Amino acid sequence: MGKVFRVLCATSTTWLAVAEVPRLFHRAGAQVTLLGPSDAWPLRGSFVTAWQRAGGSASQVTACLAEHLQTSRYDWIVLGDDPLLAAVGAHANEPWAEAALPVAPEPLRLGLLGSKVGFVRAAQAFDLPIPPSRICAGFDEARETVKAWNLPVVVKEDGPSGGEGCHAVTDVAALEVLPPHLFRHPVVVQALVRGPTLSAEAIYDRGQLRHVVTSSLVRAWPAPFGVSAVRRFADDPAMVALATEIGARVAPHGFANITAVRDPADGLPRLIELDLRPNALFHLGERLDADVTPTLRAILEGVPPGPPRRLPAGLDVQVPVYPNDVFRCVGERDWRGLGAWALNLDDRWRWAPQGDRRMRRALRVHVCRTLARTLLRRGSHAPRRT
């Protein structure tokens, strides 16, 4: 038998993003330890070998991680959410943190960890192709920028993730109606590129791109800046080139989610987000002939890198993202779409995570509870008949 590798997955939240990480590494021949709170999603599945209990906040998990890594060593450490990335990045000068971080402990690279402001600073310093962007210290600077540019922009708060904290602004009048609290901290003002939103789920091996699956956004929920509800998967050479360029300039290691907008002026992608952590879509490679697990195994074994694994040429498929699209159907009152999920039309359940009955059951419970809460809220706000 070959070596059994040890992987540590740490998370401080109940994000679905890390739910499938233990199963992916299990299939790659690794044992996975979960460090995090008792309600962490990976614990609801079948492939966590050991659990290191930690409190639910990013600072609590960071403290437990620092203590745990004094006595334990792993072949791969995955930090699963933005608050934890930022919290560990604050300890970047400590050896244990350097071993856990997906980038070198340098100020510009550390800015990529969960910060929209840090992302813009890093992208500009590394000459990555982003839309025109400015970091504004307050409302007055934001207003001056909008007036000077005289074009639609997106105002981005520094902290929120998953499309939250992004506000489309067409002119100064639209800027002035935004909540004042948004400008208590620096914000990003970024030119709005009116092209399709593109994505890449990537795996890096110390800066070398080893795996990349590309797609374009068909529907988001909540629109227009929410999470993916429907995506179209097809190999996109321009996005692969962008992912390769990011690897060469930023030198990340491990999981990355790359989001860009295709500029209609030249057809090239303009980078708008770079999240150096897993998301909930890496499992889809199994169904798209681009399984991620051979890549994970090759990196664990130290196999020399070759061309990145990517989608087959000619593949073009539209995928409803579970459970996001279910929530979208309810939010938009798309009863036909909800019925398609209920009746498994077009075999859409094949896109849900496979291979773990416990996780599938937990996801269905989560969906049912969320839908029940949504419908109860609607009922409580419905007008009464008199």
- Give the tens place of pLDDT for each residue, 30-57: 999 999 999 999 999 999 999 999 998 9
Phi/psi at 346 (5° precision): 60, 20
CATH of 5-101, one of 3.40.1350.10, 3.40.50.300, 1.20.1440.130, 3.40.50.20: 3.40.50.20
Q: Give dist(CA 95, CA 204) in Å, integer.
A: 21
Task: Count CB-CB contacts under 10 A for residue 124.
Answer: 14
Query: Quick one: 218 exposed, middle or buried, by C-beta within 10 A (0-12, 13-18, 19+)?
Result: middle
Residue 21 has pLDDT above 90, yes or no: yes
HSE, side-chain direction, 13 A CA sphere, residue 78: 30
**Superfamily in which the 194-321 domain is placed by CATH:** ATP-grasp fold, B domain (3.30.470.20)
CB 11 within 8 A of CB 268: no
Query: Quick one: 194 exposed, middle or buried, by C-beta within 10 A (0-12, 13-18, 19+)?
Result: exposed
Percentage of residues of the chain with pLDDT beyond 70: 96
Q: Which residue, among 269, 241, 268, 246, has the nearest Cα to 257 in the 3D structure?
A: 246
- What are the extents of the domains in the chain? 5-101, 132-191, 194-321, 325-379
Q: Give dist(CA 334, CA 336) in Å, integer.
A: 5
Structure confidence at residue 373 as a pLDDT band (50, 70, 90): confident
H/E element, 358? helix 357-381
Q: Give dist(CA 107, CA 128) in Å, integer.
A: 17
Written as six digits, the tokens of 264 are 């209609």
Q: Where in the chain does DSSP place strands (E)?
A: 5-10, 30-36, 50-53, 76-79, 133-136, 153-156, 166-169, 187-191, 197-205, 208-221, 227-234, 254-262, 269-275, 309-310, 316-320
Mean predicted confidence (pLDDT) in 268-282 = 97
User: Tokens 């020399």 sit at which residue?
Assistant: 304
Please give the model's pTM, rounded to 2 decimal places. Answer: 0.93
**Superfamily in which the 132-191 domain is placed by CATH:** ATP-grasp fold, A domain (3.30.1490.20)
Look over the chain and give the mean of its residue pLDDT values, rounded to a whole number.
94
Q: Give dist(CA 78, CA 73) in Å, integer.
A: 13
Structure confidence at residue 229 as a pLDDT band (50, 70, 90): very high
